[in-house]
Amino acid sequence: MGRYGFQYVPDQFDYKSFAGAMVIVYHTWTESHHYIDRLITTNNTIIFTNPSVHPFGKFSSLEQRRFHIENLCEALIPNSSCFVNETKTIYFMTNGSCDPNQSQIITSVNEIVMSIASDDIIIDNVAIQYGAWNINRTEPAEFLTSVTLFMANATSIIISNVEISHTGSYGIRIREGTSHVSMINSLITDMGAGGIWIGDLTTPT
């Protein structure tokens, strides 16, 4: 159970509803994302539906039970939003400077936006944006593995004048069997994890 929850300071989770809320816990160089299963108020313990990779507090010199809560509708601040999956409802709080009815709202759906498994491909002058990062309510979510532009068993790939941005995980993943990849005059920015991942599943770089 050490991977499924921890004891918290009284009043830290003093909210009426945690529908859709996610707790992000900082370990050392990693963080884990958790959905809330329940609170045990008799001893101030929070239990998650999905585990962390390591028990909470394993890295005792750094952990200090650091965390924050995201997507908590009760704690909205001006110009922020939350999403309740059970009702498929987005709540938006404005400070009056913008009109929700006139605003552009973008939501990511696909984790992989583009997949390449061929030879002699040129990708030029395009923007690849808003890749998703999807996790179910029971799987560990500490080391991200999704990617926006995926390559496997490909040769002679040229990426030129391309922007990859606003994604939930990695920008580009180059898997085994891929060679001669050139990236020219391009930008990778605002990633949920890293820019370019070269190698197999267990050795991101």
Residue 56 has pLDDT above 80, yes or no: yes
**How far apart, in whole angstroms, are the C-alpha atoms of residue 167 and residue 124?**
19
Residue 104 lies in a domain: no
For 125-184, the pLDDT digits (tens) are: 999 998 888 888 898 887 778 899 999 999 999 999 999 999 888 999 998 889 999 999
Residue 85 lies in a domain: yes
Residue 106 lies in a domain: no
> Do 141 and 74 share a structural domain?
no
> Do 119 and 89 share a structural domain?
no
Examine the fold and report which residue of 46, 69, 96 is the final residue of a domain before the chain moves on. 96
Residue 193 lies in a domain: yes
Domain count, the chain: 2
> Do 60 and 131 share a structural domain?
no
**How far apart, in whole angstroms, are the C-alpha atoms of residue 121 and residue 133?**
26
Provide the β-strand partners of residue 81.
92
> Do 85 and 42 share a structural domain?
yes
Diameter of the chain by CA atoms?
63
Residue 140 lies in a domain: yes
Residue 205 lies in a domain: no
At 103, the pLDDT band (50, 70, 90 cuts) reads confident
For 118-127, the pLDDT digits (tens) are: 999 999 999 9
> Do 68 and 21 share a structural domain?
yes
Residue 102 lies in a domain: no
Residue 109 lies in a domain: no
> Do 73 and 45 share a structural domain?
yes
Examine the fold and report which residue of 65, 96, 127 is the final residue of a domain before the chain moves on. 96
Instruction: Kindly tell me the number of DSSP H helices and DSSP E strands found in the chain.
Output: 0, 15
At 205, the pLDDT band (50, 70, 90 cuts) reads very low
Domain carrying residue 75: 5-96
Instruction: List the single range of 98-102, 113-117, 194-198 with lowest mean pLDDT.
Output: 98-102
Examine the fold and report which residue of 35, 67, 96 is the final residue of a domain before the chain moves on. 96
